[in-house]
Chains A and B, each alone.
Chain A
Amino acid sequence: MTQNKTPLLALTNIVTKVNVGTPNEVSILQGLNLDVYDGDFITVLGSNGAGKSTLFNTIGGSLPVDSGSIKLNGKEITHLSVEKRTAFLARVFQDPKMGTAPRMTVAENLLLAMHRGKRRTLQLRRLKQSLPHFKEITTTMKNGLETRLNTATENLSGGQRQALSFLMATEQRPDVLLLDEHTAALDPKTSAELMHQTNERVTQEKLTCLMITHHLDDALKYGNRLIVLDQGKIKFDVRGADKDRLTKEKLLSFFDTIE
């Protein structure tokens, strides 16, 4: 399968190091190349320390790159700040506590997310007018979130919090959505439900999405493309029909060859 169009997100020769200038200097990403095309739903696999989280932090802008370039629609964004990148990028963290403001209510959190990447002005927030819309979108998560719109998020269950984080990330359609093991902290049933909702939303809205996971089953079941990171590089990249033919056994034997 050939891709002639320009990639939505292009990472070229990315090198990131930690402890630069000390004897402990380590390169985490070592000349990584990745082209993400519009509508790609990519599952990202790799063992601990392979650079998955570093890859996300690099795309998100919280970790500066030492060399290489990141382009969005051909436009250079390598040195753009985290805040500026949120205009086109949304992210769901692994830790349920990271993605929501604990002392603010569910509705307040959603309202804040509606303005992702925009200038915050002295305009009144108009929370009441948005409540019907919030009710509607929280109902789609099918976990009772719609009854807790006026509850502080610190009183929600982990599953509800992650569902809220996911809604917040997708409320304003992002050009790129990063899911950093967003179901890992949940129990198996809740995790499966959120994965299902995630897949529905991503495929329905044709979101471009990268999802880190440790579940080989999820990585195989969801998305149109699968990549495996190892030692700061992409070692394996399948898409479309090739991905559909991939099995857990083949993946496992591949993991054996790289370790």
Chain B
Amino acid sequence: MSMIVSSIGQGLLWASLGVALFLTFRILDFADMTVEGTFPLGAAVAVTAIANGMNPYLASGLAFIAGALAGLVTALLYTKGKVPILLAGILVMTACSSINLRVMGGSSNVSLLGKTTIFSGAFLKSLPKYFDSVLVGLVVIAIITVLLIVFLQTNLGQAFIVTGDNRVMARSIGINTDNMTIMGLMVSNGIIGLGGALIAQNNGYADVSMGIGIIVIALASIIIGEVVFGELTLNQRLVAVTLGSVIYQFVRLLVLQLGFNTNDMNLLSALILAICLMLPRLSKALHLNHVIKKGVAKYDAE
């Protein structure tokens, strides 16, 4: 039971990454590799700040700003420097790994042992095991999702959506698509930085290697949400990302129960994502739709 609660908690905490990546991957329509750098950056900034006595909420805010600044660099490389987005993201991601070591004072792992984090409150401590991460995750993802849903319904949000949908048309009605792309990458990476701060505080440490594979986990949340829930409106799709993230953690739990260890997780995550991405092709090749339809049809329906 406690493992299920733990998975839900982890799913909710990690959901912020999926939602953040949704902004670039699904709305702006490109894969932003920067997140592999901004996730540990947010963790490093928050943990170092907390270790030096900063208020954990303030430190998490600082992690958001650090992530947004890294996103800004990627965005400027892409929009003004005309560097392809994939390469721009990889450049910033690589640069971040050095910066993260600097931030953490040269050590690859900084512990929060004995420090006050957002999980140290008396109320959260009074909850049963793992319920603290469920509550924090739920509050954070709810706030992020609601803010994004409202934002997307504003005139600015609509301009942001159309930038990803049809850039030529967006420009032809006076939308500065460069600015929209910059804004999207900043907000997205800001949320990733915040996610890094939260997960580091939940784990009790920041590690320079904690960013490896997170783009796959974030993508998996998005894709699983889409595969499981099918046709949805944009707002519903944002919520589906969170559910996808929880489902992903359940799959992870299942895989670990099967006897794999955590070192295998990146391989398995990639495998799960690859299968989900190929699902439309696979279902065509294997006539899955036909098989499923036949499977549920009445005896003499044909």
Contact = CB atoms under 8 A, between A and B. Distances in A.
Interface of A: 60, 62, 82-84, 86-87, 90-91, 93, 97-104, 108, 111-113, 115-118, 120-125, 168
B26 to A, nearest CB: 10
Interface string B162-204: 1001101111111110000000000000000000000000000
Nearest to A154: B165
Nearest to B178: A83
Contacts of B171: 62, 82-83, 86
A98 B156 CA distance: 21
A182 to B, nearest CB: 13
Nearest to B162: A101
B208 interface: no
A47 to B, nearest CB: 25
Contact of B169 (A98, A118, A123): A98
B263 interface: no
B151 A86 contact: no
Given A122-B151, A122-B156, A98 B168 contact: yes
Contacts of B173: 86, 112-113, 115-117, 168
Nearest to B165: A101
Contact of B159 (A84, A103, A112, A168): A112
Which of A87, A93, A101, A125 has most B Cβ within 10 Å? A101
A82 B172 contact: yes
Interface residues of B, number: 22
- A contact patch SS: loop
A120 B163 CA distance: 13
Given A124-B154, A125-B155, A99 B165 contact: no
A117 B174 contact: yes
A112 B156 contact: no
Contacts of A115: 155, 159, 173-174
A82 B169 CA distance: 11
B108 interface: no
A121 B155 CA distance: 6
A125 B153 contact: yes
B283 interface: no
Interface centre among A111, A113, A120, A122 (most CB of B within 10 A): A120
A100 B169 contact: yes
Contact of B166 (A90, A102, A118): A102
Contacts of A121: 154-156
Q: Which 7 A-B pairs have the closest CB atoms?
A: A86-B174, A101-B165, A117-B174, A120-B159, A116-B173, A101-B166, A120-B156
B165 to A, nearest CB: 4
B158 A120 contact: yes
Contacts of B165: 101-104
Contacts of A91: 172
A58 to B, nearest CB: 15
A120 B155 CA distance: 5
Nearest to B154: A122
A115 B150 CA distance: 19
Nearest to A116: B173
Interface in B18-65: none
A98 B174 contact: no
Contacts of A117: 173-174
B215 interface: no
Nearest to A113: B173
A166 to B, nearest CB: 13
Contacts of B166: 97-98, 100-102
A222 to B, nearest CB: 23
A69 B268 CA distance: 61
B174 A124 contact: no
A196 to B, nearest CB: 24
A247 B70 CA distance: 64
B161 interface: yes
A125 B174 contact: no
B174 A116 contact: yes
Contacts of B157: 125
Given A104-B162, A112-B158, A112-B159, A120 B175 contact: yes
Contacts of A168: 173
Nearest to B159: A120
A91 B173 CA distance: 9
B169 A99 contact: yes
Nearest to A91: B172
B175 A83 contact: yes
Contacts of A100: 166, 169
A118 B174 contact: yes
